């Protein structure tokens, strides 16, 4: 492989790395929403893998059944985080043309940091 070819490959890799970093920053600003209990609990998560907000309808709060509320919150939060990860994976796939790059999306990716 010639030095010119190697230089071209390195420039392309650096360009792709910069684009991926930009996409990761943009993903942190994007949000997805998930609900459980027929909309009794709604969770919004960011593409950065963080919970942005939780909304709980008054009717979901029953002091005699705290476990149900905990389950609703956990279900909505897990679904919101799953959707956020899916969103990021789709964005990365578009950028990389479907090429799987370790450390991005999926297990151990940006959500594992």
- pTM beyond 0.85: no
d(CA 14, CA 22): 12
CATH number, domain with residue 48: 3.30.1310.10
Name the average pLDDT for the chain. Answer: 85
What mean pLDDT do residues 34-39 have?
97
Once rounded to an integer, what is the mean pLDDT over residues 85-104? 74
Residue 15 domain-assigned (yes or no): no
The residue with greater pLDDT, 15 or 63, is 63
DSSP state of 62: -
Range of the domain at 70: 28-112
Q: Is 70 helix (H, G, I), strand (E, B) or coil?
A: helix
Domain count, the chain: 1
**pLDDT of residue 94 exceeding 90:** no
């Amino acid at each position: 492989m010639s030095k010119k070819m190697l230089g071209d490959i390195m420039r392309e890799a650096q360009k792709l790395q910069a684009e991926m970093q930009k996409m990761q920053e943009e993903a942190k600003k994007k949000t997805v929403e998930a609900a459980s209990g027929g909309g009794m609990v709604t969770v919004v998560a960011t593409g950065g893998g963080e919970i942005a907000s939780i909304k709980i309808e008054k009717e979901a709060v029953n002091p005699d059944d705290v476990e149900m509320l905990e389950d609703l919150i956990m279900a909505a939060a897990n679904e919101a985080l799953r959707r956020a990860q899916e969103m990021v994976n789709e964005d990365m796939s578009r950028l990389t043309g479907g090429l799987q790059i370790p450390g991005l999306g999926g297990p151990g990716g940006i959500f594992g940091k």
